[in-house]
Structures are given as C-alpha cells and as structure tokens.
Amino acid sequence: MTYNVSNCNSICQTNIVFEKSSGSACWIPKFTIVLQFKSSPETSIFSGEAIAILEAILFAHSHDLRHTVILTDSSSCLLAIKENPFRSRRKFFIILKIREALFSCHQKGVEISLVWIPSHSGITGNDAADLFARAAITTGSLDHFKNSTQDLCALAKTHLDKSWNSLWKVSSKSKGGFYASLQPDIPRRPWFSPHRQANRWITTTICRLRLGHACTPIHLCKIRVRDHSLCECGLDEGSLSHVIG
C-alpha cells in the first residue's frame, strides 16, 4: 500500500528503555511538536511503544487531524492492534485503549493509518523520535508512570528464570555434572520447540540418546543388566559414540 505522506499529518513515535527508566516520544514534524512520556523501569519495550502510539492517536483526535499517518518500528504492537481482542490469549489494557481511540477517531471522521517502518535505517523522523524518547527518560510527562499486569508478570518470569539458572550452575558443581555439561544453561524453550509436528517417539529417542539412556553396553552395565561395558567387538567401551561411529 502506498501513502502520499505529503498530504497527510505524519507522526513518528518510538520508545527507549534503560535500566532505571524508559521513555516514549511522538514527533510531529509538520507542527514541530514533541510529545514525551516517562515510564517506570519495569515498563517493557512493547508497552512503551504502545503508549507512544496511543498518544499519537489521541493527539490526532483532539486536534482534528483528518488524515494522519503514524509511523512506528514496532511490528508487535501493530499485530496486537490488528488481532481480535476477544480471541487473543493476552489482553493488554493499553492495546484496548488504542482500539478504543481508533474507534473514536473513526466516529469523528479522523482517518488514522498505522504504518510500520524499519528501525535504525536512517529515516530522519524516526531517528529524531529516538532522540526525543531518550530525553523523555528525564523530562517526559508522568501520565503513564505506572505498571501493567503483563509487564509485572514478565518481570516475575525473568526473575524466576535467572534464579533457576543460578541454582542450576551452583548445584551442578556438587551433583549432576554430566547433565550440566550437556545443558550448561536453562533454555527458554526446549530444543524441539521449532519441531512441534515431530513424532513423539523421535523426540524421546533423541532425548535418551543425548542423555546416554540407550541400550548401549555402558548404560546396560550401569543399570546392572550386563556384567561388563565392553562392546561386542571387544575393542573398546560400548559407548554411544563408539557404537554409532
């Protein structure tokens, strides 16, 4: 789809996150207006981008900007806005507010177009919005300085993942060293997650081979099914690598 931006009111928006705080900004070059908002440290990038989109829509609505193009580099926000909120597993309050604002604009006759642009691509308006978002961390409005339930839940999950990973590293020094050598860190997803359609027998077989829980002479000797761990060839230990090799 092609937009004739010269006939529209373009608004660039972005979000910057630091350890102590985050900032969102909307840059309206036609009127040389900057909207800056400071958010809490727990605010996610997604929420920060959504705040900027919401404020850009509310600005267009309050100033009766009939044809407005809002440029954003957050594809996740655009997909969330497009998604049916009644069928989505995750319901973000800020996304519902955006949809409500878009409906109000539609009733008023204000045409809003949300357009995705790539980030860090030298686009003048987007780069300027990045600078304003960085400044919003210290000078931005506190209208959105609060936490959403989704951000707090994500924060708790991150903390639990870090605690689990630390416990894994400490405990592996006293027990389970072999398994820790196979999996030094706790993964966010299991290795087979990209292959959900794979047969369960294949998945379990690969897991058993990886852990050494296969019918090899070494493992059978370990569980006292065999008296020795030598391979039938009599040349070496019957490890998995020896049997396959």
Question: Which domain does 70 fall in, by range?
Answer: 5-152
pLDDT at 21: 63
- Rounded percentage of the chain residues whose pLDDT exceeds 70: 86
In a domain, 227, yes or no: no
Mean pLDDT lowest among 17-21, 37-41, 59-63, 110-114: 17-21
pLDDT at 5: 46
Taking the C-alpha atoms of residue 245 and residue 241, their distance in angstroms, rounded to an integer, is: 6
Rounded alpha-carbon distances, angstroms, from residue 36 to 42, 96, 199: 18, 21, 51
pLDDT at 35: 87
Taking the C-alpha atoms of residue 85 and residue 60, their distance in angstroms, rounded to an integer, is: 23
In a domain, 223, yes or no: no
Whether the per-residue pLDDT at 11 is higher than 70: the answer is no
In a domain, 19, yes or no: yes
pLDDT at 1: 36
Total number of domains constituting the chain: 1
99: pLDDT confidence band, cut at 50, 70 and 90?
very high
In a domain, 64, yes or no: yes
| Residue among 158, 72, 58 at smallest CA distance from 108 | 58
Beta-strand ranges (E) seen in the chain are: 9-17, 22-28, 33-39, 67-72, 111-116
Whether the per-residue pLDDT at 28 is higher than 50: the answer is yes
Average pLDDT estimate for 151-158: 80
pLDDT at 3: 41
In a domain, 119, yes or no: yes
Query: Model confidence over 179-195: pLDDT tens digits?
Result: 888 888 888 888 888 88
Taking the C-alpha atoms of residue 38 and residue 137, their distance in angstroms, rounded to an integer, is: 5
Return the bridge partners of 116, or none: 72
pLDDT at 34: 86
Rounded to the nearest integer, the mean pLDDT of the chain is 82
Q: Strands 9-17 and 67-72, how do they pair?
A: parallel
In a domain, 222, yes or no: no
Domain at 103, CATH number: 3.30.420.10
Highest-confidence range of 28-42, 86-100, 101-115, 166-180, by mean pLDDT?
A: 101-115
In a domain, 117, yes or no: yes
Phi, psi values for residue 77, rounded to 5°: -65, -45
In a domain, 144, yes or no: yes
Whether 35 and 25 have beta carbons less than 8 Å apart is answered as: yes
Q: Chain centroid to CA 86: how far? A: 22
Sequence-ordered list of residues with C-beta below 8 angstroms from that of 4, at least 6 positions apart, any chain: none
Whether the per-residue pLDDT at 151 is higher than 80: the answer is no
pLDDT at 19: 45
How many CB atoms are located within 10 Å of the residue 41 CB?
12
Taking the C-alpha atoms of residue 27 and residue 205, their distance in angstroms, rounded to an integer, is: 56
